[in-house]
Structures are given as structure tokens and as C-alpha cells.
A and B are shown apart, each in its own frame.
Chain A
Amino acid sequence: MSKQRLNIIKIITMILIVASLIISGKAFLAHRNYKEAVVAGPSVTEVKTLGDYFAPLKGSVADCNIYILDSGKPGGTIFLIGGSHPEEPATNLTAEIFAENAVLKQGKLIIAIRANRSASTVTRPGDAYPQFYNIKTDWGTKKFRMGDRWSNPLDSWPDPEVYVHYPSKQMLAYMDIRNINRTWPGKKDGSITEQICYGFMNVIKEENVDLFIDLHEAELEYPVISTIVAHESGQNIAAMASMMLTDMEFAEPIGIEFSPKSLHGLSHREIGDHSDAVSLLFETPEPFLDRVRGVTDERLLLEGKDPFVMRAGKFGLLYESIDEDGWPIDVRVGRHCSTTLMVSQIWNQTNPGKGVIIENIPKYADVIDNGVGHYFKNPDEAVAEKVFYE
């Protein structure tokens, strides 16, 4: 090959690389800066941000909104967070339904829709994750950022060789220093993810939270699925809720698991141990997360149908059943809505004087009948002061 031809090939290769860098860079930037509009619901009395509770986070990528729904009638306080792991869409969608619709009749409800904002600004391109997903509503399509399990490496880099959890000193996998459900109860001068948890602990203490609920989704290959994971202090509520929901509402049962005492960094363990709040974590099935899945696209994310995951089920490799109907987003969000409502009802029965009465939230069957999108308000029709961005 002549030297001239070689140079031409080199130049073309370079142009191709630079072009793909520009195209993908633009896509990454657009994703990171995309804002989801939320219309604050009728009971939202105040919208703070995490930075109001821990100043170093103010204005940072981690500064998520904290919606406060105060009935004005004395009672208890429930704190509901979605988006701990932004690759689990049923969690932020459920939290958003509560923020846009809930009517509080007693007590206070606090909501974070994008608990780990940083992790919602990055996906897993190497795993072919879509960047966005779209939910049909009554007034058009609403677009959401897909995210990852871990905070964005742009915000937290480099990872340590071994992540030593604070304050237990337990050694965990290096990347879990960016996993919000391994960094509870947080660290004031720690990594950004540890600081996020530190900020949330401040919310819990300053707002006197009685009951904390952390929403999640899991792969069907994982044994902790379709369940309520409970700190000791929440075992009775969780057991009663799981029995009632399995009997009365859900097509597939929901179980309960006890939070291991020696597994550190998880919300159901550390919040119960380091605050006065009862701590629960809910799981729904998300076939998108299964490693044996096929095409990894928005359809799988929202419809939850996958022939390979089904095949794994036939071989007895799964901890939850799956058939041709899959696990659609409406079913998953419906389960989170009903579980939250049931837990709050049982809380009210067992904690007189500390009631949190939540109305105007769809139950499991309602979400399946009407679709998730039916419960989102049109930001273009709302007054500007009511619209907040995630």
C-alpha cells in the first residue's frame, strides 16, 4: 500500500471517530440536560430541594426536588422515594403519580421522584439501554430519562479499589460507592452518592419522618423480588400488607423479607437503625433487568415481555413467574401504588394519632385499566408556579 493511500485511510478513520464522538457526545449531553416537567398536585404545599437539607448539594446534579404535601391536620409523616435506581422506571413513575395526584386528608407526605438524579443522567450504552422512554398520556406523550443503577461517573470518579461502607466499615464492591442503596446512612464529606444519602437522612430527621418507603424493581433471576423488605420495626406492617394485597388486589402474590442485620448500606437496614423512621423497601419484577433478556429496548422496558426470560422460567431459573403477558409497566406501577396505599392504611390503623390519610391515588386495578399515563397532568395547561422540573 502506498504511503499516500495509507494516509487517506488514516484521515478517513479519524473523521469517522470524531464524527461518532460528536454525535454520541451530543446525545449524551441532551440526555443529561433533559428535564421532566412535573405538575405539583393539589396537596403540594411546598417544593424544596435536597440542597435545602444539606447545603453542599444545592444546585448540584444531585439536588433533586422534595415535594411536601401537608394536609394541615396533625398526624404522621410518610416519606416516599422513587428513582433510587433510575433504571427501574416504575419507581419514579409511581412517585410522580403521588406528587401530581395525592390529596392529603391527614398528616404529611414527602416525595422525592428522582432520589439519585446523577444516576438518571447516564444509562448503560454498553448494555444497549435506550436513553429515553415515552409514556402515552391523555394529552400526548410524556418523555422520561432512562437511567442507570449507579451515579454518573462524570459526577463520581474514580471508584476506589474497594468501597468501605461508612460507618460499618463493611467492604463492598468498588462500584457500589455510586449505588444509593449501598451508601445509606450517608457520609457528610463522602462521595456524591454518600452525600445524597446524608442529605436524605437530614430530611428524615428534620421532617420527623415516621415511615420511609423506598421503591425498587428487580430482575426475575434475583431472589428478592415481588416483595416488601422490612426493617425489624416494620415487620408487622409489611406482613399484614403483603397478606392483604395478595388476597384482595394482586394477580400475583407479594411477599415479605426481613432486612439482614449484617448487610450494610441498604435503606431498609440503615434508615431503621440510624433514625426513628420505620423503613420499608418495595420490589416489583422488571424483566428488562434480567441478564438473559433478548433485545434491550424501550418496548422491553415498558411491556416487560421477553421470550428468553420466559425460557429461563421454563428451566426453573427464576424467582417470579412470567408468561406471554410479561410484566407491563402498568402492572408494576399499579403494584407500587397499591402497596404504598395499603402500607399507609395499616400504618394508620396501628398508629392512632399518627395517621397519614392519602386519597385520589389509583390502585392496582385502576392503573391497569387506565394506564400509567392517564394519571400525568399536562404541564402546558398548568400554571407556571405549579410546574417543577426533574
Chain B
Amino acid sequence: MKLKILLVIACFTLILSFSAHAADLPEFNQPVVVTTCGQSPGALMVKMISQQSNIDCTQKDLLTAQDLKDNEYKTLIITMGTSGKGMGAAGTNMNQEEKRISDLIKTAKELDIKLIGAHVEGMARRVDENDARSIEIVIPDADALLIKNSSNEDGYFTKKSNELDIPVVFFEKNMDMGAAINEFFQIK
């Protein structure tokens, strides 16, 4: 019985948390391409969860502006937060990442591809200067944000979204991320 009550409360909180800013969300369409600004595994997580939610989502950690031109993507998701090991694995660095992502954002605007900035890995990806830089590169041009509550422990993303007037969808647990992503694509 206790468990049932807990479940009901949990569901209720979930619904509340998704709908918080959803009303302001612009319309996003598929197919989706996800990349990372700083080579953290966030993009991989977004892809796996999106695919589970039957969203047409491709992951390209080193996505280029040319890729955007060559394909018919309608939405670009860029995950924020960096990984030194990841950049090492991909043979890149923060300066190159800044250049790549800035080009991507510029091309996305030209091609009318909508941009979602995502921070889905918690405070562990908000530790150093690179993490902060990757957020600053992406946020100002985002049409909306997808943020894990544990990435927003200090209220940074709440503040930013108010400041820049960008709608944001928060989610609590990783397994809630699917429902949160569905909000963007109006899937119930």
C-alpha cells in the first residue's frame, strides 16, 4: 500500500516537473541528431534514451556543419559538460570543440534546425573550467534546454533560462529522461 502511495506521488511529481515550463516550448521535429560539446558521454545517453522512446535520433560525437547540410535533421541536441578522457579518445581539445560547435550552431540557424542544449550528467560535469566553457558556448543560442535536476543543484540553469528567456524541461531520474524528451516532440 505504502509503495502504491509512493508511486502515485512520484508520478504526480513527474507530471508537475515536466509541465513546469513546457507551455513555452517551441515545436521540435524529428529526425534528431545529438552531439557533445566536450566529448562527454551525455550524447550517448541522450541517444540511448531517445531510441528507447522511439525518437529518430542519431548520435555523432564529432558532428560537423557539413553533416547538417548533407542530412535532413530537424533538431540538433548538444550536450554540455566535458570529459578530458573523452576528448583524448576523440583526438580533440576544448579549442577545437568550441570552433566545431560554434560552426554547428551557425549552420543550424541558417538551415532552420532547432537547437536543444542538454545537461544530463549531474554536477560531475560541472566541475572545471572546460565544463563551464562548454555550457557558455551552447546556452545562448539554444531554443530550449533539457536539464537533469542534479545538474541544477545550485540553480544555475534556472537562473540562466530566466535570464535568457529560454524554456527548460527538467527531469529527476535518468529513466525520466525519455518522458522529458517526449515533451519536446509533443509525444504523450
Contact = CB atoms under 8 A, between A and B. Distances in A.
B41 A257 contact: yes
Interface string A274-304: 0000000000000000000000000000000
A263 B148 CA distance: 31
Interface size class of A (residues with CB under 8 A): 20 to 34
Interface in B103-137: 121-122, 124-125, 127-128
A257 B39 CA distance: 9
Contact of A240 (B48, B91, B124, B127): B48
B89 A259 contact: yes
A248 B89 CA distance: 29
Interface stretch (A124-132, A141-149, A223-231, A337-345): A223-231
Contacts of A256: 41, 44
Contacts of A259: 85, 89
Contacts of B125: 255
Given A253-B150, A258-B83, A235 B41 contact: yes
B48 A258 contact: no
Contacts of B173: 247
Contacts of B83: 257-258
Contacts, number: 63
B107 to A, nearest CB: 25
Contacts of B175: 243-244, 247
A236, A243, A247, A262: most-surrounded residue (chain B CB, <10 A): A243
A239 interface: yes
Interface in A241-275: 243-244, 246-247, 253, 255-263
A255 B121 contact: yes
**B interface, over-half SS:** helix
Interface in A347-368: none
B150 A258 contact: no
Contact of B41 (A239, A247, A260, A319): A239
Given A226-B124, A229-B85, A262 B91 contact: yes
A239 B88 contact: no
Contacts of A243: 45, 48-49, 174-175
A222 to B, nearest CB: 11
Contacts of B85: 223-224, 229, 257-260
A226 B175 CA distance: 20
A139 B44 CA distance: 46
Contacts of A244: 174-175
A7 B128 CA distance: 61
Contacts of A226: 124
Contacts of B89: 258-261
Given A243-B45, A261-B89, 19 more contacts: A223-B128, A224-B85, A235-B44, A236-B48, A239-B48, A243-B174, A244-B174, A246-B122, A255-B41, A255-B124, A255-B125, A256-B41, A256-B44, A257-B41, A257-B86, A258-B83, A258-B85, A263-B88, A319-B127
14 contacts: A223-B84, A239-B45, A243-B48, A243-B174, A244-B175, A246-B122, A247-B175, A253-B150, A255-B124, A255-B125, A257-B41, A257-B83, A260-B85, A263-B88
Across the A-B interface, the 5 shortest Cβ-Cβ residue pairs: A260-B88, A243-B174, A258-B89, A260-B89, A247-B173
Interface of A: 223-224, 226, 229, 235-236, 238-240, 243-244, 246-247, 253, 255-263, 319-320
